[in-house]
Amino acid sequence: MFDVRVSDEVATALAESRAVVAMESTIFSHLGLPSPANEEALSRCEQAVRAVGAVPAVTAVFNGVAHVGISQTDRERVCGPAQKMAERDIPVAIAEGWKYGATTVSAALTLADRAGICVFATGGIGGVHRGSELTGDISADLDAIARRAVVTVSAGAKAFLDLARTLEYLETSGAPVLGWQTDEFPAFYTRTSGLNVPHRVETAEAVAAIFHNRTRPDQGVLLAVPIPEADSLDAGRLDAALASALEECEAQGIRGAAITPFVLERIAVATDGDSLPANLALAEHNAEVAAQVAVAIAQLG
């Protein structure tokens, strides 16, 4: 099994049973957001976590070493060029000494779980892709969410996925899906998807109580938090952008792990850059809610 290097600040917080929030690094790397939005996203997420009294723990592989919690100097690396790393890539990244393996949701959950962190904040999770009945493309994020004893806080799944099938998959794999002060599963840039969440929660304490009563030592929970109203995008405009991005993907033969970065880039262009502030706002808000949940779990003991 791989080793993980936990930063002093995170290790101390965990030893004292204080609240810690793990974060993925793909969103902050060149794969997730263009510069300087990525640096801003990292700062805002870290500050949002700290403002609630929790400790942020960014996850990544640097020079073949898995890190949970990063130093001030590593922040520059986090925001630089990276190799996308899902859970299955972690052994390869370590054995081959990757310069910077950026964690996706599945990889971040693996590192968080290994370090003993039980709350994780991200922007949007991967899920079941449209046309998956032909391509078989289902993000490894979903199995990791269901099988790591961590609460994943996200603004729902990316809108270009098949959201109905994503919810079905989470049901099959036994992950509770909770709507944060909402009845609907949010669709990342927009607050609604037309799909209901199985359970609505109002408070961080309610999430902590559900997590506390999990049925298996490794049962994870997905908390879906809608993007703040003021930051959400117009659904019609987004749908058009999505449709053309997916067509382009198809035409250029882009597949697998390359799809997400490509589509996100195209959406940014098609919305005249409006998708960027929305992306930052939802990531920051998720970090804040995740920190509240981490504090509530820490209080439960």
Question: Could you give the residue numbers annotated as active site?
Answer: 24, 158
C-alpha to C-alpha distance for 281 and 231, rounded to whole angstroms: 7
Indicate the residue among 14 and 143 with the shorter CB distance to ligand PSU. Answer: 143
Task: Give the chain's radius of gyration (CA, Å).
Answer: 18
Residue nearest ligand PSU, Cβ-based:
126
Q: Which does 146 bind (CB under 5 to 8 A by kind): ligand PSU, Mn ion, none?
A: none
> DSSP label at 3?
-
**Residue 176 interface partner, choices Mn ion, ligand PSU, none, CB cut-off 5-8 Å depending on type:** none
Helix, strand, or coil (residue 242): helix
Nearer to ligand PSU, 46 or 141 (CB): 141
Under rule CB under 5 A, residue 137 binds Mn ion: yes
124: nearest Cα among 155, 164, 162, 86:
155
Question: Which of positions 154-193 make contact with ligand PSU (CB under 6 A)?
Answer: 158
Per CB under 5 A, 143 contacts Mn ion: no
Scanning 53-61, 136-144, 188-196, 262-270 for contacts with Mn ion by CB under 5 A, the matching segment is 136-144
Instruction: Decide: is 40 part of the binding site for Mn ion (CB under 5 A).
Output: no
Piece of 24-32, 42-50, 270-278, 290-298 that binds ligand PSU (CB under 6 A):
24-32
When binding is defined by CB under 6 A, the residue of 61, 111, 159, 264 that contacts ligand PSU is: 264
| C-alpha–C-alpha distance, residues 79 and 102, integer Å | 10
CA distance 162 to 167: 9
How does DSSP classify residue 33? S
Cα(122)–Cα(144) distance, integer angstroms: 14
Among 14, 42, 49, 105, which residue sits at the site for ligand PSU (rule: CB under 6 A)? 105
Using the 8-state DSSP alphabet, how is residue 76 labeled? H
Q: Could you give the residue ranges of the DSSP H alpha helices within 120-223?
A: 132-135, 140-147, 163-172, 204-212
| Contact predicate 18/298, CB 8 Å | yes
Minimum CB distance to Mn ion smaller for 182 or for 260? 260
Write out the residues near ligand PSU by the rule CB under 6 A.
24, 26-27, 31-32, 104-105, 123-124, 126, 139-141, 158, 257, 260, 264, 279
